[in-house]
């Protein structure tokens, strides 16, 4: 928990200064405990967190790592839902609650912030049509104006952006590493807006972000640089490899930001803006520092710029509140010759034989596989938990002819909270 009594005012001032410079801070985690404990409300009201991002791995940690969901799981088991449907129902409930918590931020910001993200099934990463259907289904199920549906930045995922935005959906394009795939995602977003306004609709109700994963790029590039440094017989080559460590991720984000400025500063977008269209903000993701040799706020301090979002793990947010510094940094290289120019960094990496496009592809594949693995593990975990709960219910005295006080009808297993899940709305999910 972050203590608002200890430096809370000065910490909030940092967040407010970032906001004045055009950057919003979102939180890269969500759990029932975070909401039930009141911690999320405190982070919003006291410290200025303005949105939430989630993914299957975040939900795996939240659901498998606690008993907070057991009551609802028990209710859903009464309806004989399979583990995959139970999982989606738990996710939808959490996202609805978080959306409701952030609704005041959404309204006070004029629809600019206050968003909560939920991801389409990772197994759909290479299926455009199914991704569109699932995204629209999630919008209908969650039914909140401040929902962002996450679509992976695969070629097939990017093909889903145009029809989704064209149907009025707000989209978070996730797992973006390649500046070129970012460009395609931004163009698809713009094309979707053009479809929407061509229907005579107001574009101000549509928002979008493009999630650029930063530290993962450094982790992958640094591993190759270390091999070059260790194997080089030329001391100058070894020094160059060492000097480039920790620079690729930020250079990549800077290159994306330049594309963003070019596309959304263009005259063609200006005509859409007159119809209420909003820019698709770059969202810096994977901003927790993975290398202990680097500053713990590296991917906050070095990525400050207008019209951006930085979604932070809770530990990184705490560190920034404690000792983070604020200055516009995302394009510092344009006016400070001492700052690394991203194209120079790319050129030096290429000279050392590092193929960034190859790395982008590997990271995208690994990211999708990781989310898919988390999803599968969580479904399996829910299946085991369901069997344990059913077994406990069979062994309970009330199952041996005694009628439970909580269940006078003698229906069998009843969750601890005593709610009758038969009164809840049912939800059908596609099989994967």
Summarised one tens digit per residue, pLDDT across range 111-136 is: 999 999 999 999 999 999 999 999 99
pLDDT tens profile 28-79: 999 999 999 999 999 999 999 999 999 999 998 898 878 899 899 989 988 9
Closest by alpha carbon to 145, among 173, 168, 167? 168
| Class of the CATH domain delimited by 10-392 | alpha beta
Categorize the per-residue pLDDT at 395 as very low, low, confident or very high, splitting at 50, 70 and 90. low
Residue 235, C-beta contacts closer than 8 angstroms, at least 6 positions apart: none
Contact 21, 328 (CB under 8 A): yes
pLDDT tens profile 244-284: 999 999 999 999 999 999 999 988 899 999 999 999 999 99
Instruction: Please identify every residue annotated as catalytic.
Output: 150
Contact 114, 146 (CB under 8 A): yes
Closest by alpha carbon to 169, among 79, 413, 342, 195? 195
pLDDT tens profile 346-374: 999 999 999 999 999 999 999 999 999 99
Number of other residues whose CB lies within 10 A of the CB of residue 54: 25
Q: How big, in percent rounded to 5, are the helix, strand and coil portions of the chain? A: 55, 10, 35
Contact 118, 150 (CB under 8 A): yes
Task: Please report where in the chains the tokens 């002819």 appear, as a residue.
Answer: 401
- The residue ranges of every structural domain in the chain are 10-392
Structure tokens at 92: 């939808």
> How far does Cα 387 stand from its chain's mean position?
31
Q: Is 307 left (phi over 0), alpha (psi -120 to 50) or beta?
A: left
Average pLDDT, the chain: 89
Q: 3-class SS at 245?
A: coil
Task: Please report where in the chains the tokens 């690994």 appear, as a residue.
Answer: 366
What does the radius of gyration of the chain's CA atoms come to, in whole angstroms?
23
């Amino acid at each position: 928990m972050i203590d608002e009594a200890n430096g809370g005012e000065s910490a909030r001032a940092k967040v407010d200064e970032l906001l004045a410079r055009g950057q919003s801070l979102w939180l890269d985690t969500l759990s029932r405990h975070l909401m039930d404990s009141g911690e999320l409300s405190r982070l919003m009201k006291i410290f200025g967190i303005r949105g939430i991002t989630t993914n299957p791995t975040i939900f795996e940690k939240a659901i498998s790592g606690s008993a907070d969901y057991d009551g609802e799981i028990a209710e859903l088991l009464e309806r004989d839902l399979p583990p995959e449907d139970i999982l989606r129902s738990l996710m939808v409930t959490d996202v609805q609650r978080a959306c409701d918590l952030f609704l005041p931020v959404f309204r006070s910001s004029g629809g600019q912030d206050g968003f909560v993200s939920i991801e389409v099934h990772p197994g759909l990463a290479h299926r455009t049509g199914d991704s569109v259907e699932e995204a629209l289904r999630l919008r209908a199920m969650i039914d909140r104006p401040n929902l962002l549906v996450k679509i992976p930045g695969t070629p097939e995922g990017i093909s889903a952006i145009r029809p989704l935005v064209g149907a009025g959906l707000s989209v978070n394009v996730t797992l973006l590493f390649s500046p070129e795939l970012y460009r395609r995602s931004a163009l698809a977003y713009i094309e979707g807006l053009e479809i929407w306004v061509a229907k005579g609709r107001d574009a101000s109700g549509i928002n979008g972000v493009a999630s650029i994963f930063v530290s993962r790029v450094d982790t992958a590039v640094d591993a190759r640089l270390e091999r070059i440094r260790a194997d080089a017989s030329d001391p100058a080559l070894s020094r160059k490899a060492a000097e480039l460590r920790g620079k690729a991720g930020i250079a990549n984000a800077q290159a994306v930001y330049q594309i963003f400025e070019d596309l959304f500063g263009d005259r063609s977008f200006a005509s859409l803006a007159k119809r209420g269209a909003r820019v698709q903000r770059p969202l810096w993701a994977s901003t927790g520092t993975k290398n202990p040799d680097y500053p713990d706020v590296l991917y906050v301090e070095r990525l400050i710029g207008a019209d951006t979002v930085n979604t932070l793990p809770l530990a990184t947010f705490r560190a920034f509140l404690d000792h983070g510094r604020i200055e516009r940094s995302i394009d510092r290289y344009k006016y400070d010759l001492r700052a690394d120019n991203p194209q120079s960094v790319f050129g030096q990496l290429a000279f050392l034989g590092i193929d960034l496009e190859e790395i982008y592809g590997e990271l995208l594949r690994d990211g999708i596989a990781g989310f898919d693995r988390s999803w599968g593990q969580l479904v399996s975990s829910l299946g085991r938990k369901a069997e344990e709960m059913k077994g406990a219910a069979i062994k309970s005295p009330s199952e041996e002819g005694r009628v439970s006080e909580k269940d006078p009808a003698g229906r069998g297993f009843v969750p601890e909270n005593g709610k009758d899940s038969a009164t809840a709305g049912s939800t059908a999910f596609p099989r994967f």
